[in-house]
Structure 1
Amino acid sequence: MEIQIRRLFEKQISLKYPAYAVGAYLGLKMTSSILRSIVKKVRILIQKKKVREFIQQRDANLQNLKIPTPNLSEEVIRLVLDSDITNLKKLLEAKTVTSVDLVNIYSKRVQQYGVQYGIITHLKYDEAIEAAKECDRLRQENSPLCQLPLFGIPISMKETFEEKGYPSTVGSSFRINRISEEDGFCVKLLKSGGAIPFLRTNVPQAAMLFESANEVYGRVQNPWDRTKYAGGSSGGEGAAVAARMSPGGMGSDLGGSIRIPAAMCGVYGFKPTAQRTIMSGHTLYSEAFNGQRTVLCATGPIGKSVDDLVLFFRQLSDPQYLQKFKLFEKDPFFPLQQINEAELTNNKKQRRFGYFKTLELFDCTVANQRAVEIAVEKLRAQGHQLVEITLPNVESISEGFIQFLVADGFEGIYDLLSQEDTIQEYMPINFFTSTPAGVKRVLSFLLKLLGQKSTAKLLPQTNRLKVEELNRLQYQISVLQQQYLRVFDDYEIEAIICPSFGTPALPHSSSVDSTPICLYTYIWNYINFPCGVLPVTKVLKDEQHLKNTRNKELPAKRVDFYMSQNTEGLPVNIQVVAPPFKEETCLNVMKMLDDEIQFYKHNSYPELK
């Protein structure tokens, strides 16, 4: 017995050393983690100080600019601010104004309102005024360059486009010193068409949210109501056009990032088929993010009319402009396609279009449905046939798009934001990517018991995907593309008229718990169909709700609450969708509708305060 006790005691002594080692290792790991967290916080604090100095310098430079008031009447200045680019071209040709006048008029408005609305990142006044002087000189000489689509017109650019001498922060505090050494190809192409990029506009942190806020340039406020978001990720661009700080400009769209801001701000936006657009010169987020090819991003314009969208489309897609550049610049792997002029100006009678007013997975508001009804009746009045359609496998698209977003555990974006914390609007994505798969299964079961079936079904699908799972997802996309092409064939339709979004603009930060309303835009990104939005109507007093929804879960209740927060009078757009590479058809149908609706002949642009 004594020997057994001695052996047990010796065994315990021998085990205590490994226990000490394990304890020491865990202690070091914990200490290391705490130290890394402290170091990160210190770095963030230091960087915030640098950002404050950066913004103070930006603001000082902006306010110190001596921008002359053009020698024009108030009536002409007002006409300039209200005009689309197409009309500005006429004013330039008639010598009513000069390009210098245009740069000064818009720059002065940016100087007055741009920072307080969170719309701008930088005003490129010095470069723009020199370019404007050169355009005016060439116009005096009757140069053939004056016939270029955007000649002498100041335009704005989303901050994600590379421009020489300016940072493309993508809303990241640690990228304020990442200065582009030359213009990106998209900017070069627009300049070759005579455009004068004079303004850079704000985006969300990492440009992956449908409302625009970051800790560098602040939060974009909607010109129609400063308590509402302006959409994202091209939120500054949509707001700049609606606020008449820019006559038009460029955005980019991965899940609705052109169309959402255009819809929230009551202006026009167009997303082409991804392979018929220019992505070269759109800044590098991270290798992990830019390398993905599951759902392709597209660049496109935001403007004040469909005519303006066509002007941008010509300059960005017409081979006669693209062929001037070298192969490596224009991306030889995207096909050059001649613009179909006959389709762009198609005025045939008795054409056939499809439409839907809402989707059962998440109903849109009464106001958004009424906007579709208005558009449908306008087309019917012109003698066209309109047939109500049903979209196939909407739930599969919704699930697939979410899987795509978090397929890499969001590492592509976390790489970009590796040195900083994400803003609160990323809370749902952070939860999805950081929660272990087993915990998600448990939470899914509990949510199902609580009646939150949609979220319960979604949670298990937000895990990081293996290569074979991602390949399977990509195959499913190709199957869905074929199914949606069959919709056009089976219904014998040329285009689809549908809601531009689930709601009008909602209060700031409401994107945290209202994500399903994006369904109406990302459907078309997922299957890569071209689409555009245009303003139709405004929210009526009795439409400030979502009580019409068939979905009674928490997100719908939150949207109903947000809709009650004084949304009366906000603009409501509709969306036009065409088959892949049928951009001309999409723009043509948008033009037909715009000619009949003429939103800004019956409504004024918002007055800034």
Structure 2
Amino acid sequence: MSDENWKEICAKKRQSLFDSIPKEWVIPHLSIQKHSNVMNVPASSGILSQKQLDITEESDVDVILEKLRTAEWTSVEVTTAFYKRAVVAHQTVNCLTEIFVDKALKRAKELDDMLSRTGKVVGPLHGLPISLKDQFTMKGLETVMGHAGWIGEEAEEDCALVTILYECGAVPFTRTNVPQTLMWGETHNNVFGRSLNPYNRSLTPGGSSGGEGALVAMKGSPLGVGTDIGGSLRIPSAFCGLYTLRPSYSRLPYYGAANALMGQESISSVLGPMANSLSSVLTFTKAIISARPWRYDPLAIRKAWSEEEWDLSEHGGVGSQLCFAIMWDNGVVKPHPPLIRAMTMVKKALEHAGHRVVDWEPHRHLEIYKNAETIFVADGGHDYLTECAKSGEPLITTMVPSEEEDIAEGYEYHAPTPYVKMLVGEPKHHEAYELWRLHEEKLRLRKSHLDHWARTADKTGTGRPVDAIISPAVAYTAVPHGLNTDSFYTTLCNALDYATSTFPVTFVDPHVDVPVEPHDFYNHEDESIYRLYKTDIFTGCPVGLQLIGKTLEEEAVLRMTSIVDGALKKWKLEIKD
């Protein structure tokens, strides 16, 4: 396919997306400054009625589900309200890839009719609109996944997750933007373009679930589903002020979803929910696991939701004193001042609530990261190049905006060579035997880290090892497009397969989060990240952290996150008083 052909096909797809927006939902006069916060645009757009604003401002999915169950709100009302808000969000931050209003509203009407006729809900997610990252295939719809060569290919069946969502009574209602190849911590491709951060459009919402992060942050969806192989749930959640869960491999059903690096199973991609409340994350996770996903996904682990683990059976039980470890830095890159303040806030809040807090000693992080990144490129880049070759589009090698995008005026772009290239070098094809040795090395590193964690029992004072680790998800908050190079903190958990959550803590305050004096840099990446911090760039950005548990303890991770989140909120109120 010629250069002009793939560009023309992409342009037609973008136009088709715009044409799928109901005309009365198009904002007539959208005047937005380049660096502006657009979180208030839905309320000021004139597109949503007051009731629709009230519906979409509700952050707790449980509240929405109760109103749907009692028919105080209909699914058609709720789906229409969130669809309008999603479309408004898209016009400000470019977050959607598929808009199918009629299909979603038909589904919502069927659910309303069933409730009216039987008096019973269809399932635990009855009537709830849920947005999906542009990987989750839906029968009859395209799954472009950021590749020009995928345009026009309609799915012949639903993926396992969508099948289960229908069983649970949900209304899948829109799909969201991803980066080309998925393997980026930002969101940009040649088909749909770049997704922007609603807190500051000159900053990235993260990736690869960046479209989802931007949409949910603007409350254009009550709950979204993304994926994570190196931080793709946690990075956008941290950048956009959201809660999420990165479960262990195959705890939630991935079968049938489109993906990059298909067949690479040493470090598996996982799916997880993204929401504005932790209770929403819990409700989704419990609903999907309770639907017995192993019926549809041959890799899904046959493990029912455990109330015993939710009650922290391996952590002394609910009400016991817990011991958390803070990873102030990982020995590879030091976090920016807002992240240090966030960890300090959490430490004070937990101690105020009666829990113990110790420092975490990083263990072989650079070796773990190098091993993981080498596995990711063990095909020598063949997968990426093959998918681009289908259309002739170029492989995107930088997320720095082009001059044509005109979204980052005033910022200087001196993107460093990502440190991973210094560690791994250019992608090189590995023979099967070489790949097996990498898998063997990963297993040894996982065992070494497990033993290291077990040894912390000597300093917790609880008789148990550290219950969970709290660390940055990323060393900084949302950054200018093209400058997100840090995935050291997140990839650690993917390589070790630790269940991990992300939760918001605060916002950047330029009067408090002042730059600090240079430290002894670990490497050139650490130095570049240090020099990136300028208070005028990051003012008002959400600051999020991650809570790291052990493999397959999703229930305990969610419970411990609720303990941390509750302690933090209570401490903030008491400090304010």
TM value normalised by structure 2: 0.84
Are the structure 2 counterparts of residues 359 and 312 from structure 1 closer, same or farther at C-alpha, using a change threshold of 3 Å? same
Identify the match of residue 87 of structure 1 among 60, 63, 79: 63
Determine which of 267, 275, 284 is the counterpart of 1:303.
275
Cα shift readout 1:422-447 (whole Å, capped 9, x = no counterpart)? 224279xxxxxxxxxxxxxxxxxxxx
**Is the CA contact (8 Å cut-off) linking 2:374 and 2:424 kept in structure 1?**
no
Task: Give 1:566 shift.
Answer: 1.5
Deviation by residue 1:233-273 (Cα, 9 ceiling, x = unmatched):
00011111001110111111110001111111001111100
Partner amino acid, structure 1, of 2:437: R
Distance 1:66 1:396, change over 3 A: closer
Tell me the SS of whatever aligns to 1:160. coil
Shift of 1:414: 1.6
Contact 2:149 2:387 in 1 (8 A): no
Deviation at 1:453, TM superposition (A): 13
Aligned amino acid, residue 339 of structure 1: W
User: How far has the Cα of 1:532 moved from its partner?
Assistant: 0.9
Return structure 1 stretches of 4+ with deviation > 4 angstroms.
69-73, 452-457, 459-462, 544-549
Q: Distance in 2 between matches of 1:395 and 1:561?
A: 21
Asked whether 1:60 is paired with 2:19, we answer: yes
Hey, what's the Cα distance between the residues in 2 that align with 1:334 and 1:552? 40
SS at match of 1:276: coil
How many residues were matched structurally?
A: 522
Q: 1:392 to 1:113 in 2, by over 3 A?
A: closer
1:420 equivalent in structure 2: 393
2:111 corresponds, among 132, 135, 138, to 135
CA drift at 1:47: 1.8
| Aligned residue number for residue 493 of structure 1 | 466
* Cα distance change of structure 1 residues 426 and 231 upon mapping to structure 2, 3 Å threshold: closer
Structure ID, larger Rg:
1
Mapped to 2, the partners of 1:119 and 1:372 lie a distance apart of 30
Paired residue secondary structure (1:485): helix
C-alpha spacing 1:463/1:182, structure 2 compared with 1 (3 Å): closer
CA distance 1:590–1:255, shift in 2 (3 Å): same
How many Å separate the matches in 1 of 2:24 and 2:150?
A: 25
Q: 2:3 aligns with which of 44, 47, 50?
A: 44
Within 1, Cα distance between the matches of 2:116 and 2:64?
Answer: 17
Residue in 2 aligned with 1:589?
A: 560
Give the structure 2 partner of residue 533 of structure 1: 502
Write out per-residue CA displacement over residues 279-326 of structure 1, whole angstroms, 9 at most, x where no aligned residue.
1021154xxx211122111111111112111122123223x5436x4x
Root-mean-square deviation (CA, aligned residues, Å) is 2.8
State the 1:574 CA deviation.
1.0
* Corresponding residue number in structure 2 for 1:104: 80
Q: Distance in 2 between matches of 1:588 and 1:96?
A: 30
Change (3 A) 1:74 1:129: same
Match of 1:473 among 422, 438, 443: 438
Matched, 1:180 2:155: yes
* Letter of the structure 1 residue corresponding to residue 478 of structure 2: A
Inter-CA distance 95–472: structure 2 relative to 1 (3 Å threshold)? same
How far off is 1:195 after superposition? 0.9
Q: Give distance in 2, aligned partners of 1:464 and 1:295.
A: 17
Amino acid at match of 1:275: S
Alignment of 1:542-561 (within 5 A): 542-543=512-513, 545=515, 547=517, 549-551=519-521, 553-561=523-531
Aligned residue runs from structure 1 range 83-482, under 5 A = 83-141=59-117, 143-146=119-122, 148-285=123-260, 289-318=261-290, 320-322=291-293, 325=295, 329-331=296-298, 333-346=299-312, 347-418=318-389, 419-425=392-398, 458=423, 460=425, 463-482=428-447
Shift of 1:559: 2.8
Distance 1:296 1:139, change over 3 A: same
Distance 1:414 1:253 in 2: 21
Partner deviation per Cα, 1:344-395 (whole Å, 9 max, x = no partner): 2442221222221212211111211221222222222222222212121011
Q: Secondary structure at the match of 2:20?
A: helix
Q: How far apart are the structure 1 equivalents of 2:491 and 2:174?
A: 28
Sequence identity of aligned pairs in percent? 26
Aligned AA for 2:328? K
Partner SS for 1:224 = coil
Cα distance between partner residues in 1 of 2:171 and 2:152: 24
2:337–2:513: 8 Å Cα contact kept in structure 1? Answer: yes
How far off is 1:556 after superposition? 3.5
Q: Which runs of 5+ in 1 are unaligned?
A: 1-39, 428-451, 603-609
Instruction: Judge conservation of contact 2:350–2:568 (CA < 8 Å) in 1.
Output: no
Q: Is the 8 A contact 2:180 2:188 kept in 1?
A: yes
Distance in structure 2 (CA, Å) of the matches to 1:482 and 1:272:
19
- 8 Å CA contact 1:391, 1:484 repeated in 2: no
Quote the Cα distance in structure 1 between the aligned partners of 2:420 and 2:139.
Answer: 44
**Which letter maps to 2:15?**
Q
Contact 1:356 1:388 in 2 (8 A): yes
Partner SS state of residue 62, structure 1: coil
**Distance in 2 between the 1:133 and 1:53 partners?**
31
CA distance in 2, matches of 1:135, 1:366: 48
Equivalent-residue separation in structure 1 for 2:324 and 2:502 (angstroms): 16
Give 1:194 shift: 0.9
Aligned partners of 2:48 and 2:533: how far apart in 1? 42
Does structure 2 conserve the Cα–Cα contact (< 8 Å) formed by 1:156 and 1:249?
A: yes
| Contact kept in structure 2, 1:546 and 1:556, CA below 8 Å | no
Deviation at 1:201, TM superposition (A): 0.4
Residue 475 (structure 2) aligned to one of 486, 502, 506: 502
Amino acid at match of 1:184: C
Q: Provide the secondary structure at the position in 2 that maps to 1:569.
A: coil
Distance 1:337 1:521, change over 3 A: same
Pair 1:65–1:185, CA change in 2 (3 A) = farther
Q: Secondary structure at the match of 2:245?
A: strand
Q: Equivalents in 2 of 1:275, 1:321: separation in Å?
A: 12
1:523 is matched by which residue type in structure 2? L
1:408-428: CA deviations, max 9, x gaps? 11112222222320224279x
Measure the CA separation in 1 of the matches of 2:52 and 2:258. Answer: 38
Q: Are residues 75 and 104 of structure 1, via their aligned partners in 2, closer, same or farther at CA, if it must alter by over 3 Å?
A: closer
